């Protein structure tokens, strides 16, 4: 037991020695000469005692107090100065040399001018300065100061506070000269982190040579609002002149759009090549006699090639060949699709589809594409300009926050409006409404955040804050929407979409008597349409149209029992989509390859609460 206690005692001694301060400040003296322009000529004498070798000391001096920014000029030191790059609210520098170390008593002297200027307080003037900041990292054995004013001050309005940050207790002692212009004082045994602050309140106008601060925030903001309004107006004009779509006139048609496969119809309908578009091609090929589908069990299918694909389209041939290449070239199963390179081939197919709709088959009007670049640039510029104008005088981090909010609003507008424009033809009304609601909630949330920044962080008035917060969020969002909607369809895309919309209308609205007549003349009608219904999200709607109408069993579906139920084949499309395309992609991603799915305080003040001060330590 005694041995254990001894070990514990030794451990405590070791830890204490490791944690002991290896330097301290024997003396810090500060002399300050205050001028009528509210600038201070400061001289510091610092005596450090290093018990272990160090290169020298460092100083950190704050240059921002509330909304007031200060300047440090004419910095001179007895030792070499190395300026460090830190935030704009501080000046940080080191005294000493990186090439040598010192120990024992070392004296450092430095002088500089600390220029405050207009303190923006219309009720009184004041000297409110941290003679010793709360950032000193080692104890200060003795601290002395002298502050000389250009005119006498009222002794009853002199307060010296010290201790931890926020303390209002007097620390140390001071005297005021008979002419009321000089205050001298001292304090001893200050711990690391303790501050000493002198506050002297004077009548307004004491600092008679101060250049009055003029806040241009309102002027800048009005100018920014006008510029942004012009941006929005120009973007609107560009939309009406170049981006308005031609009158959309879909005509009901009973056959598929000319020369388009379900894969291509799916891409034209929503601007995305998704896995469901690829799944639809299995039914398209089967209906055209290129393959058969055999159900071995509920979760096991095999596909057999009947003949080679005749299509000259590169994306379709690539998909067909890659599909059977996952097997033996003629037959392929689900497990083979999961293990092979089919998922990588699907990515290539998607690229080929997008490339197919270029040139004469381009989907966007080239002039409108160029003009909408203005709205794109205006959106980013408006977010930055509005943030800059309302925070350039008083803000720092607030500028970054406001600009980020505006850019985020712009980006979300681009995303939401793009997805809405893609799904206007095939998307459900519920999903569209949900996107509108989400966008509204997002705008309200961003406005609340912007309002908090203007009101609480920048301390601006309610009306100004409300107007600028609205502009910061709404203007970039509106420009994001205009960027998207100015992308006018090409004549080719207009023609094809009218055909697709007419075909959709047939699938959704064909009446049963008409459908019965069509089936009588074409018993395989259900299967001819199924691939297109899949990419348009209407496979279940199409199948339900055949309730009470007899259809033939699919000649390309191999099973032990005859099936002539339209709803079965509609459900089969979902099973194959999950079992073939999605599962192949999932297995490929699981194996480690990237998935191709894109989805002022008054009173006495308090310790550490004034200008200047900062801190320092050894390095």
Average pLDDT over residues 371-388: 95
pLDDT (0 to 100) of residue 35: 94
pLDDT digits (tens, 9 = 90+) for 137-148: 899 999 999 999
* pLDDT score at 477: 96
What are the tens digits of pLDDT across the range 427-481? Answer: 667 777 888 899 999 999 999 999 999 998 888 889 999 999 999 999 999 999 9
Mean of the per-residue pLDDT values for the chain?
85
Q: Does residue 594 surpass a pLDDT of 50?
A: no
Highest-scoring range by mean pLDDT, 221-230, 419-428, 594-603 = 221-230
pLDDT, tens digit, for every residue of 213-229?
A: 777 888 999 999 999 99
Under the banding of pLDDT at 50, 70 and 90, the label for residue 113 is very high
Of 87 and 456, the structure prediction assigns the larger pLDDT to 456
Q: How confident is the model at residue 346 (pLDDT cuts 50, 70, 90)?
A: confident
Nearest to 100 by CA among 80, 126, 77: 80
- More reliable by pLDDT, 219 or 21: 219
Reported as a single tens digit per residue, the pLDDT across 241-268 is 998 877 777 778 889 988 899 999 999 8
Statement: residue 339 has pLDDT above 90: no
pLDDT score at 17: 42
pLDDT of amino acid 315: 94
- Taking 80 as the threshold, does the pLDDT of residue 571 lie above it? yes
* pLDDT: which is higher, 24 or 90: 24
pLDDT-above-70 percentage for the chain: 88
112 half-sphere exposure, CB direction, 13 A CA radius: 22
Beta bridge partners of residue 72, listed in sequence order: 114
| pLDDT of 164 higher than 50 | yes
- Two tokens at 41? 């000529």
Res. 602: pLDDT tops 50? no
> Phi/psi of residue 154, each to 5°?
-80, 115
When pLDDT is cut at 50, 70 and 90, the band that residue 579 belongs to is low
Average pLDDT over residues 70-79: 89
Which residue, 219, 186, 166, 270, is CA-closest to 464? Answer: 219
- 128 or 90, greater pLDDT: 128
Q: Which residue has the higher pLDDT, 15 or 237?
A: 237
How far, in whole angstroms, is CA 101 from its chain's centroid? 45
Which secondary structure element, helix H or strand E, spans residue 5, and what is its range? helix 2-19
Check: CB of residue 581 under 8 Å from CB of residue 277: no
CB neighbours of residue 20 within 10 Å: 8
For residue 392, the model assigns a pLDDT of 79
Of 485, 530, 455, nearest to 281 by C-alpha is 530
Crossing angle for the helix pair 262-270 and 525-535, to the nearest 10 degrees: 30
* Count of helix runs (H) and strand runs (E) in the chain: 17, 21
Residue 3, CA distances (Å) to 6, 10, 16, 157 in order: 5, 11, 20, 62
Question: What percent of the chain is predicted at pLDDT more than 90?
Answer: 53
Whole-structure pTM over 0.75, yes or no? no
pLDDT at 398: 84
Answer yes or no: is pLDDT of 238 > 90: yes
Predicted confidence band at 231 (pLDDT cuts at 50, 70, 90)? Answer: very high
Mind listing the pLDDT tens digit for each residue in 181-216? 999 999 999 998 899 999 999 999 899 988 877 778
Residues 159-192, buried b or exposed e (16+ Cβ, 10 A)? bbbbbebebbeebbebebeeeeebbebebeebeb
pLDDT of residue 331 exceeding 70, the answer is yes
* HEC assignment per residue over 396-423: CHHHHHHHHHHHHHHHHHHHHHHHHHHC
């Amino acid at each position: 037991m005694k041995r254990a206690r001894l070990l514990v005692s030794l451990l405590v001694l070791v830890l204490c020695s490791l944690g002991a301060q290896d330097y301290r400040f024997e003396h810090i003296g500060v002399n300050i000469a205050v001028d009528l322009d509210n600038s201070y000529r400061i001289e510091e004498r610092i005596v450090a005692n290093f018990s272990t070798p160090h290169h020298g000391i460092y100083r950190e001096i704050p240059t921002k107090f509330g909304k007031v920014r200060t300047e440090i000029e004419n910095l001179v030191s007895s030792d070499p100065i190395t300026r460090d790059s830190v935030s704009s609210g501080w000046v940080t520098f080191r005294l000493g040399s990186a090439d040598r170390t010192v120990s024992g008593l070392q004296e450092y002297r430095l002088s500089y001018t600390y220029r405050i200027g207009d303190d923006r307080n219309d009720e009184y003037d004041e000297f409110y300065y941290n003679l010793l900041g709360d950032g000193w990292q080692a104890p200060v054995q003795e601290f002395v100061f002298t502050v000389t004013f250009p005119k006498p001050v009222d002794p009853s309005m002199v307060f010296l506070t010290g201790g931890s940050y926020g303390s209002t207790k007097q620390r140390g002692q001071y005297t005021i000269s008979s002419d009321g212009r000089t205050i001298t004082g001292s304090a001893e045994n200050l711990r690391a982190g303790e501050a000493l602050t002198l506050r002297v309140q004077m009548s307004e106008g004491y600092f008679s040579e101060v250049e009055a601060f003029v806040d241009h925030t309102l002027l800048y903001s009005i100018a920014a609002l006008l510029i942004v309004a012009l941006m929005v107006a120009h973007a609107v004009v560009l939309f009406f002149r170049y981006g308005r779509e031609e009158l959309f006139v879909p005509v009901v048609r009973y056959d598929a759009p000319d020369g388009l496969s379900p894969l291509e119809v799916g891409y034209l309908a929503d601007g995305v090549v998704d896995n469901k578009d690829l799944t639809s091609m299995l039914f398209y090929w089967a209906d055209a006699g290129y393959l058969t589908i055999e159900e071995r069990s509920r979760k096991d299918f095999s596909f057999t090639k009947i003949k080679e694909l005749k299509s000259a389209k590169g994306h379709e041939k690539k998909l067909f060949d890659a599909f059977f290449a996952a097997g033996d070239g003629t037959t392929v199963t689900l497990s083979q699709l999961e293990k092979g390179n089919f998922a990588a081939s699907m990515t290539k197919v998607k690229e080929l589809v997008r490339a197919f709709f270029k040139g004469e088959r381009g989907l966007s009007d080239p002039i409108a594409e160029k003009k909408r670049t203005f709205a794109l640039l205006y959106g980013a510029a408006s977010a930055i300009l509005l943030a800059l104008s309302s925070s350039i005088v008083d803000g720092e981090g607030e500028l970054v926050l406001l600009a980020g909010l505006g850019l985020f609003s712009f980006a979300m507008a681009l995303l939401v409006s793009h997805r809405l424009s893609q799904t206007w033809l095939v998307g459900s009304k519920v999903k569209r409404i949900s996107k509108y609601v989400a966008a509204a909630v997002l705008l309200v949330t961003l406005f609340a955040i912007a309002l908090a920044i203007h009101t609480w962080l920048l301390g601006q008035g309610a009306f100004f804050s409300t107007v600028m917060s609205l502009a910061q969020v709404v203007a970039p969002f509106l420009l994001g929407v205009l960027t998207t909607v100015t992308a006018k369809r090409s004549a080719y895309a207009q023609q094809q979409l009218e055909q697709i919309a007419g075909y959709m209308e047939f699938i959704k609205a064909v009446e049963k008597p008409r459908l019965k007549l069509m089936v009588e003349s074409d018993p395989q009608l259900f299967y001819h349409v199924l691939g297109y219904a899949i990419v348009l999200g209407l496979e279940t709607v199409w199948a339900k149209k055949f309730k009470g109408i007899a259809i033939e069993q699919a000649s390309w579906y191999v099973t032990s029992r005859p099936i002539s139920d339209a709803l079965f084949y509609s459900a089969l499309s979902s099973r194959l989509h999950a079992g073939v395309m999605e599962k192949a992609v999932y297995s490929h991603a699981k194996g480690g390859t990237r998935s191709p799915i894109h989805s002022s305080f008054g009173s006495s003040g308090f310790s550490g609460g004034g200008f200047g001060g900062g801190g320092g330590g050894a390095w």
